[in-house]
Amino acid sequence: MTAREAAAVRVLLVSDDAQAVQLMSDVLEQIGMHFESCSDTQAASRKLSAAKYEGLVLDLALGESALDLLKSLPDFTANKEVVSCAILEQAHQKAAAFQAGANFTLDRPLNGHTAFRTIRAGYPMMVRERRRYFRCPVQTPALVSGDFHPEFQATSVNLSEGGMAILSPVQLKIGQNLQMRLRIPGKAEFIELSGEVCWTDPTGRAGVQFQEISPSAAEALESWLLQRLEEMMPRKNQMPAKDILPLHG
């Protein structure tokens, strides 16, 4: 998987309607999203339990189990904030879809232009959700200290909003509290934060979960991560009118 593919927004498409799956697949590909599909809600539940997605397109023609899946999204720890779009079988389902937690709806007969506009409208929300879990590979100095050792320099391996992996010359232990000064690439100043070691390995690598970070440092980190994510994402394309046709029936 390339870096661009790894950074792409990930969408789960759930429908047993081959034409709907083809149309929505075309839309998602044009926007630059990575997607997986399955034909029933049981398979969708398994996927939502096993992997992280930023978007969900769910066909309510699958019956009551589809609405039940929408209602249960807050129970999926990694996917409780997934941005969901419900494909309506009938117009009267719109209220029930929104009550169940859908962010957007699409009416049948499906139309490619409408689907494209709807998914594009939800794209910024999906990008924000992607950023929350995005781990950016980066090597940058990190000055680390704690009760166990004077300050020393480690090197980051990757960086996210919630934590980082570092390569440390000092063997760290799970549960240790660290004070860190981190230099974000392109910035002259260090940002200060604290964290707890959540995993280690014999090579000196360790995972640190952030515990405290100032609002200004958090803003700087989020801004930098969003910029890196957008640079790495596949480019979003406009949908040529001739390429997406209405789907009838």
45-66, pLDDT tens digit by residue? 999 999 999 999 999 999 999 9
Of 80-89, 178-187, 214-223, the range with the highest mean pLDDT is 80-89
For the cut 70, the answer to whether the pLDDT of residue 104 exceeds it is yes
- Residues 128-163 as b/e (b if ≥16 CB within 10 A, e otherwise) read ebbbeebbbebebebebebeeeeeeebebbebbbeb
Within this chain, domains 3-133+234-243 and 136-213 share the same CATH topology: no
238 pLDDT more than 70: no
Tell me what percent of the residues of the chain surpass a pLDDT of 70.
Answer: 91
On whether the pTM is more than 0.85, the answer is no
- pLDDT value at residue 32: 85
CATH 3.40.50.720 fits 136-213, yes or no: no
| pLDDT band of 4, cuts 50, 70, 90 | low
Q: Which two tokens stand for residue 181?
A: 């000064």
Name the least confident of 180-184, 187-191, 219-223.
Answer: 187-191
Contact (Cβ atoms closer than 8 angstroms) between residue 151 and residue 143 = yes
pLDDT for 78:
87
Domain residue limits, the chain: 3-133+234-243, 136-213
% pLDDT > 90, the chain: 61
DSSP string over 13-67? EE-S-HHHHHHHHHHHHHHT-EEEEESSHHHHHHHHHHS--SEEEEEGGG-HHHH
- pLDDT, one tens digit per residue, over 133-169 is 788 888 988 999 987 778 999 999 999 888 999 999 9
pLDDT score of 239 more than 70: no
CATH superfamily ID and name for 3-133+234-243 = Response regulator (3.40.50.2300)
- Mean confidence (pLDDT) of the chain: 87
**Model pLDDT, residue 223:** 86
